[in-house]
Structure 1
Amino acid sequence: MKKIILSLIVFGATISLASAQILPAFQIGLKAGTNLSSLNSTASETFSGSNRAGYLVGVWTRFGAVGFNFQPEMYLTSKNVDVTSSSGGVTRAKFTSIDVPLLFGGKFGALGLGGRFYTGPVVSFAIDKNQSFDSAAGKVFSLNYQDQNFAWQFGTGLDIKRISVDLRYEAGITKQTYDGRQTRISLFNLSLAYSLVKL
């Protein structure tokens, strides 16, 4: 009798692990979304930043097993921010870049519905840097945005069949310069993804 009970327990555990993605899985898809950029600065007496919306569009892949996954992505993103100097001059900056997040995380759920959490580094390569200046109110300065930047993402997501919704915070690591002071660009992004291939 004990052997039968033990066998049933082992069998139940095996089924549970299988439903928790113990077998390797692979997905590839498209994603698009919006972001909201902000400046982090300890020099608030010198300048301040205003949030502006941008966009992202690209591709993603996901490799997973035993409830954990690795999710590399590549997307085109626009990061926009207004910077106001202490004299009142406004710099409107728009940076377009190729972003490559390398995310690690976990997943839970079953029957096509599940939640995810993940974190990982992001490397960003600037391909276009545009700035406009409003000097009517005072002196303005350029925001010196680096050609290559690093950040760290934290996020959560919801999967419904082949559709995923992601909400992330991206903390800027690379320092940018404005009026001789250093700042970092961080952002929130909300995206919608669709899995083209799911194995």
Structure 2
Amino acid sequence: MSNAQLLPTFKLGVKGALGFSSLSSEGRFFNSDTKTGFQLGAWGRVGIAGFHVQPEAYYASKKVGAQFEQSGEKGEATFQSFDVPILLGTRIGLGPIGVRVQAGPVFSFAQDGKVNFTTATDWDRYKKTSTGIVGGIGADISKFTVDLRYEHGLTDLNESPDYNQKIRMWTIGVGFAFL
């Protein structure tokens, strides 16, 4: 191993992403449709010997559509949260061009602890925090980054024992490293 691989690397940047999310419901409370939301925030990356840790912090607006099974009524929910993923990964490439593979946990903190829904129901029972796992691939081209990721909720979002609801989301994001 050369000394260059043992030197730590550091990057800091901003990012934005489009998220395509749905809400799984094992209680068969409703059928969920995929809706488009967004993420805006910052990221950092510390690497050594080909591996890196990439913590991020961003505001997320995750939207889902729903059709209630009993009434047939349709609506949309918006989950607004502050998300903190901590990704572990590796980068393969030379110089300013590289491909990344990353995965890790994501911790979500609801902005107001509520879900805004266009249909009247008991949305105050949604939790203020949740945990998930996220993984994906990315590319670095000089100071620009592009990512494709999948996030799978691990935590039941609803306090009701009747429903097991979790967010599932694909994101496509772009970023810029200013350090």
TM-score by length of 1: 0.81
- For the pair shown, the structure with the greater C-alpha radius of gyration is 1
What's the offset of the Cα at 1:33? 1.1
- Distance, in Å, in 2 between the alignment partners of 1:179 and 1:43 is 9
More helix by share: 1
- The equivalent residue for 1:4 is none
What's the offset of the Cα at 1:39? 1.6
What's the offset of the Cα at 1:57? 0.4
- The equivalent residue for 2:46 is 63
- Distance, in Å, in 2 between the alignment partners of 1:95 and 1:181 is 17
Q: Work out whether 1:180 is the aligned partner of 2:162.
A: yes
- The equivalent residue for 2:58 is 75
**Gapped runs of 5+ residues in structure 2?**
none
Amino acid at match of 2:117: S
Which one of 113, 117, 133 corresponds to residue 118 of structure 2?
133
- Distance, in Å, in 2 between the alignment partners of 1:75 and 1:122 is 11
Report % sequence identity. 35
- Distance, in Å, in 2 between the alignment partners of 1:179 and 1:53 is 28
2:6 is paired with a residue whose SS is: coil
- The equivalent residue for 1:96 is 80
Q: Is the 8 A contact 2:115 2:126 kept in 1?
A: no
Deviations 1:32-89 (A, max 9, x none): 1110111223344x41001110010000000001000000010001011112111212
Matches within 5 A, 1:1-199: 14=2, 18=4, 21-44=5-28, 46-86=29-69, 87-128=71-112, 129-134=114-119, 141-143=121-123, 144-177=125-158, 180-197=162-179
Q: Is the 8 A contact 2:130 2:157 kept in 1?
A: no
TM-score by length of 2: 0.90
2:118 is paired with a residue whose SS is: strand
What's the offset of the Cα at 1:130? 4.2
- Distance, in Å, in 2 between the alignment partners of 1:108 and 1:122 is 24
Amino acid at match of 1:59: A
- Distance, in Å, in 2 between the alignment partners of 1:158 and 1:85 is 40
What's the offset of the Cα at 1:179? 9.7
- Distance, in Å, in 2 between the alignment partners of 1:70 and 1:111 is 19
Q: CA RMSD in A?
A: 1.9
Aligned residues: 175
Deviation beyond 6 Å, 4+ runs, structure 1: none
**Gapped runs of 5+ residues in structure 1?**
1-12, 135-139
